[in-house]
Amino acid sequence: MNLGSLRSQAKIYLMGTSTDTASIAWSDAELNRYANEGTFYVQQITEFYQDSDNKVVTSGTSTYAAPSLEHQFIRLAFDRDLVPQTNEYELDRDTCTSWRGMQSGVSQYFYRPTLNQVALWPPPNTSGDTSIFGSELGVVVEITGDPLYALSGEFGVVTGFTDTEGSIGKFRSDIFASLYQANGPQFGVLINYTNDEGNLSSIFVAIPQQMTADTDVPQLPPFAHWGIINYMVAKAFAREGEFQDMSAAQAWFEAFKDWMGASLGVKGRWWPTSITSLEPWQTGDRLNQRLQAVSIPSFLRS
Amino acid sequence: MSIQTYNLAAFRQETLDHLNDSNGGMWSTSELNGYVNQAVLRVAMDIRVNKSEAAMTFGALCGCSTYLPSDCLVPEFVYTDVNNGYQRLFKTHILALDKTGKGYNNWEKDAPNTPRNFWPFSWDQIVPWPIPFNALNGTLHYVPYPTTLVLDTDTTVFPMSGNRLVSVFAAYLASLKTSMVKAKNFLDEYNSRVVLVQEQERNNSKSRPAVMGVGRWFDRQGANPEVGRFSQLRGYY
């Protein structure tokens, strides 16, 4: 389903399908807001959507911005070697006291100085490959990873793959492709693909991107989209005003919970190739475990 | 006599019977069709009886992820083609790969070879390991999304016990517009009856033991040969 169909289905449940805009209690913009909120809430409960990213490192520089879509890291690697997570306390306890001023080397660990930052320790002593655009015109796509490959004065559509090994975050485009830059000689669409060789790569549970166009699709499995609809209706009934109905909101949230329970049940049966329990089969409750971690929305707490 | 057959028209009528609205005044035909199809999806999610297979190709020298088929609801297992002896690719996890070789295995830098494993990425992709040296053809065994019922004569692939659940859940969805109490009753009925259908599916597939005797010694490797084979291939981890 896309944003338009999510909204249409929610309107059916809200009995707000009239073409008379004056009679509609919930606007498209409001329902779109609930759809995006519901998408994120479903993602928090189910953690379906994962993504990866590369950060080009600079020799001697320890701290880098975390990927903008990162909700929770799963694994980080520097130059395709796992870097386990540590923190300042462990570094103070287990290394020399001057670790903050330590010379660069081969990064072995990472820690998080603050939200949206990742710091490598020790700081890397090599820089990852970068791309330098010079006077390009048109659609330019550069794949880094081969230091002998450079773009200069190209015209038209230019693409180049030069590396044949590597894995995971092998080639990742910047999430927001650069457009026309007023201060540079480039004109057109510039897409920089980075390689995870010599760089900081990550795999993470991602934040779904905001849906704006009616054709945008939630970055979740199709079967989970019905949960978003139930959440939208619950939020609509909970909104203050003459159409507020808290009992209906509570009931629709129960419908949401029911669908999330079924969705987690499906996820629990993906790739069922190992015995997870020797106990006789019993009915479990995966949803309550996740709701205890994520919590229920504030509008439903008495 | 024959058993009852269920098609879209029959699901719709039975739903109205549950709602005590046989003449269909409260809900339009298109609206009921929507509820029936959503109920068919829900039943497919819960009982997972229908299986399918689709080809997958892992590109040569490509460490990138491969997308699962778009109609894949529950992926179950992957095996290779005749050229690779129909070997199953065993599921692993990236953090499990990090633990191999007592933590010293730089598995991301392994040279291309014949994949023996894969690890899932996000909800719709898998990544083979090691990276295939040559293009590798495989087959995915999975539970597909149910086909959308469009014509009144369209049918599902569920057993009778599964078809009986569709109208109950559709009645629950329809009742959400009129009476939350009635809706909850339908949902409770569905949740209690679906367990029996799940038991039926588990007994048919024999996917795991139904009962384990108390106090008996049990060899985990013997019960699941995949565990023994995998541990022999990669060592303890």
Q: Does B96 touch chain A (CB under 8 A)?
A: no
Does B77 contact A258 at a Cβ distance shorter than 8 Å?
no
CB nearest to B211's CB, from A222, A223, A280: A280
Averaged pLDDT in 10-residue chunks for chain B of 237 residues:
83 92 80 94 93 90 82 93 89 82 76 87 89 89 94 92 94 88 92 86 63 51 54 46
* Poorest-pLDDT segment among A47-51, A160-164, B215-219: A160-164
pLDDT in tens, A109-139: 999 999 889 999 999 998 886 655 555 555 5
pLDDT of residue A240: 86
Strand, helix or coil for residue A29: helix
Residue from B48, B116, B122, B141 to probe the interface with A (highest A Cβ count within 10 Å):
B122
Residue A78 has pLDDT above 60, yes or no: yes
Where is pLDDT greater, at B61 or A105? A105
- Contact at 8 Å (CB) between A155 and A137? yes
pLDDT of residue B205: 67
pLDDT of residue B221: 52
CB nearest to B120's CB, from A12, A269, A271: A271
Output the average pLDDT for chain A: 78
Q: Whose structure tokens read 């679906």?
A: B194
Q: CA dist A115 to A46, A49, A52, A112, Å?
A: 22, 21, 18, 7
Does A251 contact B112 at a Cβ distance shorter than 8 Å?
no
pLDDT of residue A190: 56
- Average pLDDT of the segment spanning A86-97: 86
Where is pLDDT greater, at A263 or A180? A263
Q: Which residues of B touch A254 (CB under 8 A)?
A: 184
Q: Which residues of A touch B195 (CB under 8 A)?
A: 283
Question: Whose CA is closest to A167, among A193, A201, A190?
Answer: A201
The CA-to-CA distance between both ends of chain B, in Å, stands at: 58
Q: Which residue in B has a C-alpha nearest to residue A165's C-alpha?
A: B61
Alpha-carbon gap: B8 to the closest alpha carbon of chain A (Å): 20
pLDDT in tens, A252-284: 999 999 999 999 999 988 987 654 443 444 556
Residue A3 has pLDDT above 80, yes or no: yes
Alpha-carbon gap: A138 to the closest alpha carbon of chain B (Å): 28
Alpha carbon distance A10, A230 (integer Å): 7
Does B220 contact A275 at a Cβ distance shorter than 8 Å?
yes
Alpha-carbon gap: B77 to the closest alpha carbon of chain A (Å): 6
Residue A163 has pLDDT above 80, yes or no: no
The angle, 0 to 180 degrees and rounded to 10, between the axes of the packed helices B160-175 and B8-18 is 50
Q: Which residues of A touch B124 (CB under 8 A)?
A: 221
Does A13 contact B176 at a Cβ distance shorter than 8 Å?
yes
pLDDT of residue A103: 77
pLDDT of residue B11: 95
CB nearest to A226's CB, from B38, B46, B131: B38
Torsion of the alpha carbons at B219, B220, B223 and B227, rounded to the nearest 10: -130
CB nearest to B75's CB, from A15, A170, A271: A271
pLDDT of residue A111: 94
Q: Judge if the upstream peptide bond of residue A122 is cis by omega within 30 degrees of 0.
A: yes
CB nearest to A262's CB, from B45, B77, B176: B45
Q: Is the pTM of this model over 0.80?
A: no
Residues 138-157 of chain B whose Cβ lies under 8 A from any Cβ of chain A:
145
pLDDT of residue B37: 95
Q: What is the ipTM of this complex?
A: 0.80
DSSP category for residue A170: S
pLDDT of residue A95: 84
CB nearest to A80's CB, from B61, B108, B223: B108
